[in-house]
Each structure stands twice: as structure tokens, then as C-alpha cells.
Amino acid sequence: MKILFSFESGRMPLRSSTLINWLIFRGHEVHVLYELAVSHEEMEAKNSLSKATIIVDINDINEINTYDIWFADILNYKNYHLKSEYNSIFRRFKNTLCIISFDDGSDFFNHRLDDDLYGRVNCWVNNLIEKDKEKYHPIIRDKCMLMPTYIEASNENYCEFVDILKQKIKPFDEKINFFYFSGAITGCMPAIDCRFNSILHLIRSGVDYNVRVTGTDPAPFLKYFYDCFLDNDLKKPHVDRVSFLHEINNHKFILSPKGNCQPLRRQYEAFAFNNLVFINENNTVDYLFEGIPNTHFVQYKLDCSDLKEKLRYYNNNLSEAKKIADAGTKFWEENCRIYQTGDLSKPTTQYLVENFYKHTNISL
């Protein structure tokens, strides 16, 4: 089949690269429409989409209906409250139309898509879906399916990721007995609040840790917490991708708070590197193949009230910690692994094929 992806924001193609490369692996012809005039920023995913044909001007597409499927990501941070640039062309498109979203949840269709196009969309795909479908527009409640993003930016640096896998994943017993967090304080409010609290509970728990907080949102209220509640020795610059992966590989324990936002690549990379991962509970959204709490990772409460206790417990009970870490690695290998060819694990492939067919009657 001939498939078009279109994006209106620079980072979004990277999050779709798992799906795009999988479709190419399965023999489909994939074109990626990315117009700088629409997005106002450079695309971040060119290296990870080397097998796709990149189109920089929609006028270069002579006939939109030569495509069997159109996956359209209409999120645009630059023009967030304006209609999608492609609304008029969606009306002309006669084949299978799928809308992609990241992070928008139930607000997704409220502003970027014209009202008369709700019924036109065959399928809506996202890397999270809210558990309460009543929040969604009634026309799309039964049209939602999950998309794998998993290790996201590692798709762009997958050679480095694989090189470390080939060199040596340190067994759990050989890693240093430290807890590790590296990341920014960003996202929606549950994520921001949970990340701050998770870091504060970690540094006050009495266990050994290495923490790198790599940035802050410019919002004044967040800057206040960043400046007043985080010690200066935690505020460190970004490291290069290879160094980051080696740091994960060297630590037993990984703190991966996400609030109720999108799945984090850190979680799946930590699974791959045989770490014990600590993730907060999630009562709002569903993810694709996240794992079972306290079987594949340690789950703690969203308000972090039990985090110190769990950090200390597994720090002192390494045999139990190793059992969960090993189960997490096996779970990643069987369900979440992304191969250099673009292929995905059998459960993920089965999910995508079966659910897309259910919504569109098309077999990917």
C-alpha cells in the first residue's frame, strides 16, 4: 500500500518513527509530508526516517487520493489554537484517514479539526488513551487505538542503543547499588508534580543516588520550585545519548516518574538494561504493553507517599529486586523490542494488525 504521514510540529515525526519504520519493513511505501511553512521549525526525525520519502511541499503531491491511508498528526505547538492546515484537503481525501495525537487526551478534536470532519476520520491513534472514554467526542469513542512509541528518541540513535546491547548489558548483580534519575521537569501538571515529588523523596530517603535534572519549564511557578526546592548539585546539563545509556547500564535502580502523561522511553530502556524501574501509579490513561506493576517494575503512588519506603525496601532486599528487574527485561524482549530492520515484537505486531483491521477493514 501507499501510505502518507503528515506532521505539523517538529518533534512529532520522531514519535511516529516506530510505526513508520515498521510499515516500511512490512513492504509498504511510506511518504512523510513535512512543510516548514506549516510547522515553523525543523523536523527532528530525519535520521530515523531515512527509508521514507520526505515531501516538503504538499503541492508536490499531484493527487492526494493515490494514497491508500493518510496518517495525519495535526498537533502544532506554534498554532495550537488554530485549525489544522490540512482541513480542506482532508475533505478531498476519499480513502482511509487516521488522525494521530500525542498528549492531548480528550481535548484533541476540540480545536484543530473542523466539526464536520469528526465522522470522516476512520481511526484515531495515540500512545495513550484515557480510561474514561466519556471525555471524548461521541463520534470517536469507538475509533481509538494505541500506537507504540516505546524508546522514542532511541529510534533516532538506535545504533548507539544496539551497540551497548551488543557490548554488554551488565547483569543486575554487577551494577552499582545506586538509584538514578536523569531528565527534565516537563509535561502536564500531574507529571510535573510527580517528578518533583519523586526526586525530593529520593534525595531524602537515605539511599545512594545519582540525579541529573536537566532543565525547567519557564513558567514562574515551576521556576520557583526548581530554584528553591532542588539543590544546585542536582541541576546538571544534558549528557550525550551514549553517555546517558551507559549511565543507565551502570545503575541497579532507575526512577522513572511520568505522572499520567505519555509513556517514557527511560522506562523501556531501563527494562532493556536489566534495571529495577520505579514508576508511579496511573489511574487516568492506558498504554500499550506497559507491564504489570510489581511484577515487571515497582509501582508507587502518584502522591509519592509510599516511595521512600519502597526505595529503602528494595535497596535492602536485592534478591527480590533482581527478580523484578529480570522479569522487566524479559517483558521488554518479548513485547517491546524494536529491531534495526524496523520490525517489532510479535505481540505488538499482532495488536497493530488486528486493531487497525477492526477499525478500517484494512490489513497492515
Separation CA 110–CA 234 (nearest Å): 39
Q: What pLDDT score does 239 carry?
A: 74
Pairing between β-strand 144-146 and β-strand 176-185 as defined by DSSP bridges: unpaired
Contact assessment for residue 286 and residue 264, using Cβ atoms and an 8 Å cutoff: no
Contact assessment for residue 340 and residue 155, using Cβ atoms and an 8 Å cutoff: no
What's the CATH number for 155-336?
A: 3.40.50.2000
3-state secondary structure 86-138: CHHHHHHCCCEEEEEECCCHHHHHHCCCCHHHHHHCCEEEECCEECCHHHCCC
Where do you find CATH 3.40.50.2000 in the chain?
A: 2-150+342-360, 155-336
pLDDT classification of 153: cutoffs 50, 70, 90: very low
Q: What pLDDT score does 346 carry?
A: 95
CA neighbor of 126 nearest in space, from 99, 153, 156, 107: 99
Task: Report, as an integer, the average pLDDT of 259-275.
Answer: 82
Pairing between β-strand 298-300 and β-strand 129-130 as defined by DSSP bridges: unpaired
Q: Which of the listed ranges 39-48, 207-216, 335-344, 354-363 does the model predict with the highest average pLDDT?
A: 354-363
Tell whether the model's pLDDT for residue 224 goes beyond 60: yes
Q: What pLDDT score does 89 carry?
A: 96
Tell whether the model's pLDDT for residue 218 goes beyond 60: no
In this structure, the dihedral spanned by the alpha carbons of residues 184, 187, 190 and 194, taken in order and rounded to 10 degrees, is -10
CATH 3.40.50.261 fits 2-150+342-360, yes or no: no
Return all residues near 271 (Cβ < 8 A) that are at least 6 apart. Answer: 277, 291, 296, 297, 328, 329, 331, 332, 336
Q: What pLDDT score does 103 carry?
A: 62
Tell whether the model's pLDDT for residue 93 goes beyond 60: yes
Q: How far is CA 252 from CA 164, 221, 295, in A?
A: 16, 33, 16
Return all residues near 110 (Cβ < 8 A) that are at least 6 apart. Answer: 137
Tell whether the model's pLDDT for residue 202 goes beyond 50: yes
Separation CA 261–CA 146 (nearest Å): 14
Q: What pLDDT score does 149 carry?
A: 81
Percent of the chain with pLDDT over 90: 49
Tell whether the model's pLDDT for residue 333 goes beyond 50: yes
pTM: 0.89
